[in-house]
Amino acid sequence: MVRYRWVVLLGVPLIDIFLLIRVAEIVGLFVTASIVIVTAFIGLLLVRSEGAHTIQKLLEKLETRENPADQIIDGICIMVAGVCLLTPGLVTDLIGFILLLPPTRYPIRIVVKKWVEQVIQNKSSFGENIYIIKRKE
């Protein structure tokens, strides 16, 4: 996973730039700029709404002393979606809307929970230099 981080960090903006240029050649610069601005505006309205809803559900879970893991993962997805939607580009807008909408966020939440459980259970994922301090009795 670490190996592909640079490919994603460099690949997504390059694909975004390429797509924006191609779309601007087809429909024009004004229409392309309008699409980017409108998707950012709609996305931010949705981020605000979904964020408020998620915070409300998180507070309800905390009051009833239930596990708020789903709401925490949703909150992280919504924050990442907000960043993606503010970034000009069509690919980042698509990623942002996928992370923002609840029907598509649910499978992502399941995958993230499984990944976190696997990381926690796999002791070698924390590295070999773990020191345990014990108190002398």
Token duo for residue 43: 């996305």
Q: Which amino acid is at 36?
A: V
Instruction: Say how far apart CA 38 and CA 48 lie, in whole Å.
Output: 15
Tell me if 99 sits within 8 A of 108, measured CB to CB.
Answer: yes
pLDDT of 130 reads 55
pLDDT of 129 reads 54
Best CA proximity match to 77, nearest among 42, 45, 102, 114? 102
Q: Which amino acid is at 120?
A: I
Which residues in the chain show pLDDT less than 50?
Answer: none
pLDDT of 91 reads 92
pLDDT of 116 reads 84
Supply the pTM of this predicted model.
0.80
